[in-house]
């Protein structure tokens, strides 16, 4: 077990890293953050901030020397960085698991090999692959294999011709072509798995997106308890199949009452932010616990919850050229509402600036209260 006042390493300085720093501090640890942005949300509150590139050998050597273990808050950490650090200190999740989650082709291949349900798809390396792709994949969605997020790097394509045009627009980068499913709705499961293979799932959340970005998550999901349980079981199988250690998120499509795995994230997840206010242990504390070899905490939800994101767009609702702070005073009058702002200095459309959660037993009701509250402050 790694115990305080040990220093923990965090690769990445965004809001997920920031919540990790807070959880680690609460348990008595120190944190060293590596992120090239000198103003990164996590770096600003960490004990040490290395404002250097992820490949910077001097920074990595310092991290290996000062930290007892290291984890990550985003999936695009270079594989060499993880491989280098793991020569000296535990890296959790490990390089192999991160490699699967950071490449849609590896991810889909993993699901296929494990016999787990996913949308029909084809690997597209070149234009010839597109010409011979099964006609049943259309209408489809073409996604670049690497570095896509929040709906970026994907195109909805009605037919082969549109797919070809999109592939060219992505500069011929390796892609997956997925069949477009008609979704009933989307759910996700965040879980933690420890070094002994014990898995603790947080309750399944139901998610709605707006313009490709997560907008609202509610718990419990409106799905049947059976389907929610099945999602948790599938997520646990994924974690075990990758020999995963840490906090993992799994996104699902629900289509005609059946679950299809969409994608995995090797880190805490936006749809798990409700755990900060509704659960006995939150997803970031679980990340600390798994990293340090502590027993996992209880993921039990003490109540239902609705989490809504606050994107930079909210700052520009009155004037598209000048940012204006939302009416926080008004927000604070809403009972059972917990606000989390990420300390980003500049709002930009589409940028995740913060979120809030309304807790309460009826998810439909707290969802409505949360959406009204957001509307009122813009």
Binding of ligand ADP at residue 263 (CB under 6 A)?
A: yes
Among 28, 65, 83, 149, binds ligand ADP (CB under 6 A): 149
Question: Running DSSP on this structure, what letter comes out for residue 320?
Answer: T
Q: Is 209 annotated as a binding residue?
A: yes
151 binding ligand ADP? (CB under 6 A): yes
- What is the Cα–Cα distance from 244 to 21, expressed in whole angstroms? 21
150 annotated as belonging to a binding site for a ligand: yes
Residue 56 half-sphere exposure toward CB, CA atoms < 13 A? 13
In the bound state with Mg ion, the residue whose beta carbon lies nearer, of 130 and 250, is: 250
- Any binding-site annotation on 149? yes
- The tokens describing 40, both together, are 């990164």
Residue closer to ligand ADP (CB basis): 50 or 308: 308
Instruction: Give the span between the Cα atoms of 333 and 356, in whole angstroms.
Output: 13
Binding mask 239-278 for Mg ion (x = CB under 5 A): ------------x---------------------------
**Is residue 286 annotated as involved in ligand binding?**
no
Please state the closest distance from residue 215 (CB atom) to Mg ion, in A: 12
User: With respect to ligand ADP, which residue has the nearer C-beta, 88 or 185?
Assistant: 185
Residues 6+ apart with CB under 8 A from 32: 7, 8, 9, 10, 46, 47, 48, 49, 50, 62, 63, 66, 67
Nearer to Mg ion, 156 or 300 (CB): 156
| Of 77 and 214, CB closest to Mg ion | 214
Which residues contact residue 67 at a Cβ distance below 8 angstroms, ignoring those fewer than 6 apart? 6, 7, 8, 9, 32, 89
Supply the angle between the helices 283-292 and 15-26 in degrees, to the nearest 10.
Answer: 70
Asked if 112 touches ligand ADP (CB under 6 A), the answer is no
Q: How many CA atoms lie within 13 A of 166 on its CB side?
A: 23
Q: How far apart are CA 378 and CA 6, in angstroms?
A: 42
Tokens of 237: 């199988």
Give the residue from 68, 90, 87 showing the smallest Cα distance to 194: 90
The annotation status of 178 as a binding-site residue, yes or no, is yes
CB of 139 to ligand ADP, least distance (A): 9
Interacting positions 264-293 with ligand ADP (CB under 6 A): none
For ligand ADP, the binding residues in 175-214 under the rule CB under 6 A are 178, 180-181, 183, 186, 209, 212
CA angle 275, 193, 271 (to 5 degrees): 30
User: Which option in ligand ADP, Mg ion, none does residue 232 bind, with CB closer than 5 to 8 A by kind?
Assistant: none
Both tokens of 340, joined, read: 């989390």
Cβ 81 to Mg ion, closest distance in Å? 23
The answer to whether the beta carbons of residues 2 and 293 sit under 8 Å apart is: yes
CB closer to ligand ADP, 74 vs 84: 74
- Least distance in Å: CB of 363 to ligand ADP? 19
Q: 148 among the known binding-site residues?
A: yes
Cβ neighbours of residue 108 under 8 Å, at least 6 residues apart? 118, 121, 123, 176
Min. distance of Cβ 56 from ligand ADP in angstroms? 27
Q: Check binding of 173 to ligand ADP (CB under 6 A).
A: no
Q: Pick the closest to residue 343 from 17, 33, 72 (CA basis).
A: 17
Annotated binding residue 35: no
Report if residue 141 touches ligand ADP, rule: CB under 6 A. Answer: yes
Sign of the four-CA dihedral 55, 80, 251, 255: positive
Span between the terminal Cα atoms of the chain, in Å: 46
Q: How far is the CB of 157 from ligand ADP (least distance, A)?
A: 11
Q: How far apart are CA 184 and CA 368, in angstroms?
A: 20
Is 309 one of the binding residues for ligand ADP (CB under 6 A)? Answer: no
Which residues sit in the known binding site for ATP?
A: 104, 143, 148-154, 178-181, 186, 209, 262-263
Interacting residue ranges for Mg ion, rule: CB under 5 A: 251
Interacting residue ranges for ligand ADP, rule: CB under 6 A: 119, 141, 143, 148-151, 178, 180-181, 183, 186, 209, 212, 251, 262-263
């Amino acid at each position: 077990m790694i115990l305080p006042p040990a220093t923990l390493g965090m690769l990445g300085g965004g809001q997920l890293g920031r919540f990790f720093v807070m959880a680690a501090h609460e348990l008595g640890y120190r944190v060293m953050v590596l992120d090239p942005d000198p103003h990164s949300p996590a770096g600003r509150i960490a004990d040490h901030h290395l404002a250097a590139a992820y490949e910077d050998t001097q920074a990595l050597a310092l991290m290996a020397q000062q930290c007892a273990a290291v984890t990550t808050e985003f999936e695009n950490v270079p594989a060499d960085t993880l491989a280098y650090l793991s020569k000296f200190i535990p890296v959790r999740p490990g390089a192999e698991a991160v490699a699967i989650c950071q490449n849609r082709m590896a991810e889909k291949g993993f699901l296929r090999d494990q016999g787990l349900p996913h949308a029909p798809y084809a690997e597209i390396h070149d234009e010839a692959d597109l010409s011979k792709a099964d006609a049943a994949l259309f209408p489809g969605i073409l996604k670049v294999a690497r570095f896509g997020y929040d709906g970026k790097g994907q195109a909805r394509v009605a037919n082969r011709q549109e797919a070809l045009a999109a592939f060219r627009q992505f500069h011929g980068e390796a892609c997956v072509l997925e069949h477009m499913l008609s979704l009933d709705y989307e759910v996700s499961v965040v879980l933690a798995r420890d070094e002994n293979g014990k898995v603790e799932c947080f309750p399944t959340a139901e998610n709605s997106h707006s313009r490709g970005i997560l907008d609202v998550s509610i718990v419990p999901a409106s799905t049947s308890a059976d389907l929610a349980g099945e999602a948790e079981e599938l997520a646990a199988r994924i974690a075990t199949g990758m020999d995963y250690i840490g906090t993992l998120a799994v996104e699902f499509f629900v289509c005609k009452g059946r679950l299809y795995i969409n994608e995995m994230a090797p880190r805490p997840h936006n749809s798990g932010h409700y755990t900060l206010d509704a659960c006995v242990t939150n997803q970031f504390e679980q990340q600390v616990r798994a990293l340090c070899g502590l027993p996992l905490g209880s993921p039990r939800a003490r109540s239902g919850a609705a989490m809504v994101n606050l994107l930079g767009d909210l700052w520009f609702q009155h004037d598209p050229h000048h940012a204006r702070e939302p009416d926080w005073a008004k927000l604070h009058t809403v009972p059972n509402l917990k606000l989390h702002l990420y300390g980003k200095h500049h709002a930009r459309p589409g940028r995740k600036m913060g979120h809030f959660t309304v807790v309460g037993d009826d998810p439909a009701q707290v969802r409505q209260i949360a959406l009204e509250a957001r509307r009122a402050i813009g």
